[in-house]
Amino acid sequence: MNDSKPYSQNLEKKFFRPVDNSPLVIFRILFGFLLFYHVCSILLNGTVYRNFIQPPFTFTFIGFEFLQPLPGNGMYYYFGSMALLALLIMLGAWYRLAMISFAFLWTVQYLMQKSGYNNHYYLVLLLCWMMAIVPANAYCSVDAIRKKNIKRNSCPQWALWIFIAQIAILYFFAAINKLNIDWFSGKFISIQFTRLSNHHIYGILYGRKWFPVFIAYAGFLFDLMIVPFLLWKPTRRIAFLLACIFHLFNSFTFKIGIFPYLSIALLLFFFEPGSISSIFFKSKASVTGSENIFIIRKPVLYLLSVHFLFQVIVPMRSWLYPGNVFWTEEGYRMSWKMMLRTKSGSIHFKVVDPGSGKTWIIDPTKIFTPYHVSWIAISPDITWQYAQKIKQGFTKKGFPNAEVYAIGLVSMNRSIPAPLVDTTVDLGKEKWYSFRHSAWITDH
């Protein structure tokens, strides 16, 4: 009992001790640039139009139906403002306001449209809020020029450690989630290699039967071991080199936007802060350890404890549901199940009015693009949401007892197509339970 208090005090002292803030500052610059690049890209390539303007309505996270796209060209202005905020973040100008505003806007658009869900977008959401609470503008920033009193060479140790912890959680669950036959057989990777395996030059390598299997095992070992190797100083440099090769390979092969480059930028936090400073800020004064960093410690400890407890529990929730999570998607989102399955499908809805005996066939392709219809077909919660929309529409037309049945076929990893939803269940009468298995989702 007597030894525990000194140990906890020593740990708390290390947690809040001042360290060189160079990794945090450089990451702020890179993070702001990548956010700016991403937002500009989705504005220019039609993603904003396709996801928020073109559809008659969006499929929000259940419970956030009040979040709807702005009318007219409002979403262009929405994302345009995000691009400007990203520039302010990069420059460290009015940083706290800019970072919190960007985090808020990113979170809203993330919750507003599930079609096209991506784990990488969830990572950006987390990083935005983490960056909102750290003093990333204390050096090499417009704010440090505007307000001399905020300029510092240091930051508390926790401001660097939280990014390492988040990365460790991500890679751990990414490795655990790969423990399935479709991954280690190379089947999923082979599907992803289709574009390059048929190329007249790249196909020389990507078309080899052994290459997808090699990448599958290498990917698993990378996710499992990269953080320990980065933490251990003797292997840190080689781990950094391997991580750069890994992420650049992913960027070339899978075309997954800014995620590979964001992952490389996050590697900064594994190096000694002084080493980063000696590379990027050669004239920067060293941190002596005597800097006075005023901070209310207990709220920070409680906030971070809750956050990381959430980060550990949420990815495990899919283990509580029966069936194959890649098929049922129950507990799939926010669980770091990255690049592990591909699904395709088709769907239509049959509406029956018991009173009049009338029957209608609702074809989603009449109002949605094939892209969005695919998401309606392969995601049970989106299927249910669309069924509710249909039910509401027929209730307004004077058919309050109308029954809604989803009829479709889904293929996962190019398997034989099968019904994802029980075609005999009236989805209009079903309720959605966020933490309970929906019996109308079929087994696979």
289: confidence class by pLDDT, cuts 50, 70, 90: low
Show the tokens assigned to 254: 């899978």
pLDDT at 42: 96
**Within 134-177, where are the H helices?**
142-146, 158-176
Q: Is the pLDDT of residue 43 over 90?
A: yes
pLDDT at 309: 96
> What gap in Å lies between CA 97 and CA 103, rounded to an integer?
10
32: confidence class by pLDDT, cuts 50, 70, 90: very high
pLDDT at 12: 72
Show the tokens assigned to 283: 């004239």
Integer-rounded Cα radius of gyration of the chain: 25
> What gap in Å lies between CA 152 and CA 211, rounded to an integer?
49
Q: Is the pLDDT of residue 344 over 80?
A: yes
Q: Report which secondary-structure segment, H or E, holds 289.
A: none
Strand 343-352's sheet: what is its strand order? 359-362, 343-352, 403-412
pTM (2 decimals)? 0.93
pLDDT at 291: 53
Q: Is the pLDDT of residue 160 over 90?
A: yes
Asked whether the beta carbons of 239 and 223 are under 8 A apart, the reply is no
Report CA-CA distances (Å) from 184 to 214, 223, 332. Answer: 9, 14, 20
> What is the SS3 assignment for 344?
strand
Average pLDDT, the chain: 93
pLDDT at 5: 58
> What gap in Å lies between CA 272 and CA 23, rounded to an integer?
9
In DSSP notation, 117-134 reads --HHHHHHHHHHHHHHHS
6: confidence class by pLDDT, cuts 50, 70, 90: low
Show the tokens assigned to 1: 């009992």
> What gap in Å lies between CA 208 and CA 392, rounded to an integer?
52
CB neighbourhood size of 295 (10 A):
11
Show the tokens assigned to 105: 């806007």
Asked whether the beta carbons of 35 and 124 are under 8 A apart, the reply is yes
pLDDT at 98: 98
Q: Is the pLDDT of residue 8 over 90?
A: no
The half-sphere exposure of 38 on its side-chain side, counting CA atoms within 13 A, is 22
Domain ranges of the chain: 21-152, 153-334, 342-444
Q: What is the mean pLDDT of residues 434-442?
A: 93
pLDDT digits (tens, 9 = 90+) for 258-286: 999 999 999 999 999 999 999 999 888 88
> What gap in Å lies between CA 155 and CA 152, rounded to an integer?
8
**Within 186-269, where are the H helices?**
187-192, 194-197, 203-206, 210-231, 233-254, 259-266
Asked whether the beta carbons of 372 and 117 are under 8 A apart, the reply is no
Q: Is the pLDDT of residue 318 over 60?
A: yes
pLDDT at 363: 97
Q: What is the mean pLDDT of residues 378-386?
A: 97
Say which residue the tokens 């700016």 belong to.
36
Say which residue the tokens 């990815």 belong to.
315
Q: What is the mean pLDDT of residues 1-6?
A: 55
20: amino acid identity, one letter: D
pLDDT at 263: 97
Q: Is the pLDDT of residue 2 over 90?
A: no
pLDDT digits (tens, 9 = 90+) for 94-142: 999 999 999 999 999 999 999 888 899 999 999 999 999 999 999 999 9
Of 81, 168, 256, residue with least CA distance to 89: 81
pLDDT at 296: 65
Apex 6 CA angle, 4 and 8, nearest 5:
65
